[in-house]
Amino acid sequence: MATDKSWQWWKEHTPQYFHKFAMSRRQRVIMAVFLLGSFVYIILTQERVVRTQGPTEFELALRKRRAVHMLGRVPGEPTHPEVRKFCSGLAKQNPNLVQAENESSPVIYVVTPTYKRPEMVAELTRLGQTLTMVQRIHWIVAEDSATCSAPITSLLKRLGLPYTHLATPMPEIYRREKFVPRGVSNRRAALQWVQANGENTGVLFFLDDDNAVDIRLFEEMRSTKTVSMWPVGLIGEYTVSSPIVKEGKVVGFYDGWPAGRKFQVDMAGFAVGVGYMKKQRKVTMPYIAGHEEDGFLKSLNLSISNIEVKADRCTNILVWHTRTAKNPIRTLNMETHQNDNIKVLADNMRHLGMIK
């Protein structure tokens, strides 16, 4: 064999003192097996370490919630009553808006959580003016605050859309968590409002204040009876989150962060029929960061096979998970501007929450 010839050549062309360290063929085989086994062991242990170091903190948070479940409560459900305050509302569209309403068309209840920051009014202005271009919209703006922000109320009244303005602060216990479940208290309050006041033919849609949306999406979702879905762009490792569709049916999900979720979707990637939602025994959204959508859709007793496919069989992107750069809240020096427009300008900026 070639191995034996190589070994013979080595014996003939190496100094004699090396021969005392030579191994028999059996010893060489044993050594090779040992080295190969050691190499495989190192690879496997390194892979296990990498996996362990990944979502460790997040998994610990989930284990904590599961422990709560073992004590008799549902994971992610609050232990104390949530604060929910009605600020103001408008039931009918302002007749001065350009578009005439088609009264037979289902109402779309657009739920937008928000919170105080320099960009808040700018974000809501941009989104609100987009919504004025769509018929039969009821905008529910729920802010993470114990009080109603006057700039939001002023904006909503000026836009003339049917709206509901809620103040729904996040319970303090969740603000101290490593992974803060942002927007959950706001969406939960909006869910309660829609269940109590929404038309059965209506459609529920979650849309964050910094998202970008093509108005064609609203007509796509308006026919939703159970739950409809579509792709969301500019999100995650794959730059998109989308249902996987075969022969017109959803068979799975294409998402860069599976995380053990049954429904691997973004909050802006689905709509729910209000009538269907009202038929469910207990609709909820858990205070578990990253699992809000999954927990909500599970509470609807939804089967993947019953999902309604939109956006041309989920081949088009009509909504994007855009994010606005954060600006620090600054304090401006007005000492040299007591007698010009800059002082008044600064006062208005302060009213909008842009500066201190």
Q: Where are the domains positioned within the chain?
A: 2-53, 85-320, 327-356
Rounded to whole angstroms, how far apart are CA atoms 296 and 205? 13
Average the pLDDT over 260-266 and give the result.
97
How does 204-232 read in b/e, with b if 16+ C-beta sit within 10 Å?
bbbbbbbbbbeeebbebbbebebbbbbbb
Q: Does residue 137 register a pLDDT over 80?
A: yes
117 is in an annotated binding site: no
Q: What is the DSSP string of 107-126?
A: PEEEEEEE--STTHHHHHHH
**What is the pLDDT confidence band of residue 129, given thresholds at 50, 70 and 90?**
very high
255 is in an annotated binding site: no
Q: Does residue 59 register a pLDDT over 60?
A: no
Residue with tokens 């993947």: 304
* Structural tokens at position 200: 């059965």
Q: Does residue 170 register a pLDDT over 60?
A: yes
Rounded to whole angstroms, how far apart are CA atoms 86 and 165? 6
β-partners of residue 111 are: 140, 206
Q: What tens digit of pLDDT does each residue of 174-185 get?
A: 888 888 999 999
Q: Does residue 41 register a pLDDT over 90?
A: no
**Amino acid type, 117:** R
Residues 149, 143 contacting (CB under 8 angstroms) = yes
From the number of C-beta atoms within 10 Å of its C-beta (0-12, 13-18, 19+), residue 164 rates as buried
pLDDT at 162: 98
165 is in an annotated binding site: no
Q: Does residue 270 register a pLDDT over 90?
A: yes
210 is in an annotated binding site: yes
**What is the pLDDT confidence band of residue 22, given thresholds at 50, 70 and 90?**
low
Q: Tally Cβ neighbours within 10 Å of residue 68.
A: 15
209 is in an annotated binding site: yes
Rounded to whole angstroms, how far apart are CA atoms 333 and 180? 34
Residues 55, 137 contacting (CB under 8 angstroms) = no
* Structural tokens at position 122: 């700018």
Q: What tens digit of pLDDT does each residue of 282-324 get?
A: 999 999 999 999 999 999 999 999 999 999 999 999 999 999 9
Q: What is the percent of the chain where pLDDT is above 90?
A: 71
Active site positions, annotated: 293
Considering only CA atoms, give the Rg of the chain: 29
322 is in an annotated binding site: yes
Q: What tens digit of pLDDT does each residue of 208-259 get?
A: 999 999 999 999 999 999 999 999 999 999 999 999 999 999 999 999 999 9
Going along the chain, which residue ranges are E strands? Answer: 85-90, 108-114, 137-143, 163-167, 203-206, 212-213, 227-229, 232-233, 240-246, 249-254, 270-273, 308-309, 319-320
pLDDT at 30: 75
SS3 state at 254:
strand
Q: Does residue 53 register a pLDDT over 50?
A: no
Give the residue with greater pLDDT, 55 vs 130: 130
Average model confidence (pLDDT) across the chain:
87
Q: Does residue 118 register a pLDDT over 80?
A: yes
Q: Tally Cβ neighbours within 10 Å of residue 162.
A: 19
**What is the pLDDT confidence band of residue 266, given thresholds at 50, 70 and 90?**
very high
**What is the pLDDT confidence band of residue 14, given thresholds at 50, 70 and 90?**
low
**What is the pLDDT confidence band of residue 200, given thresholds at 50, 70 and 90?**
very high
Q: Which CATH number fits domain 85-320: 3.30.360.10, 3.90.550.10, 3.20.20.10, 3.90.1150.10?
A: 3.90.550.10
